Amino acid sequence: MALSARNVLKGKVKDLKKGMVMAEVTVEVASGVLVVAAVTTNSVERLGLAVGKDAEVIIKATSVMLNA
């Protein structure tokens, strides 16, 4: 199986902050390149995310903007 999402970047969890419903997860996808995800706290727990764990970042192309 493959995802239609065009952006799948391998990385490692660097930071994690959990609220009641939403959580913020920081993933390093290349040396010094950090990506922050806001996902539900339920997902953080279901996926067993923790600092140091491997995680892929997935982003649909229609959610990406450009600045030039």
Give 19: exposed, middle or buried? Use CB within 10 Å, 0-12, 13-18, 19+. Answer: exposed
The DSSP bridge pattern shows strands 22-30 and 33-40 to be antiparallel
Residue whose structure tokens are 């600092």: 51
Residues of this chain, 7-46, that bind its own copies according to CB under 8 A: 7-9, 13, 17-25, 27, 29-31, 33-40, 42-44, 46
Q: How far is the CB of 45 from its own copies (least distance, A)?
A: 11
For the bound state, the minimum distance from the C-beta of residue 4 to its own copies, rounded and expressed in Å, comes to: 4
Residues in contact with its own copies by the rule CB under 8 A: 1-9, 13, 17-25, 27, 29-31, 33-40, 42-44, 46-49, 53-68
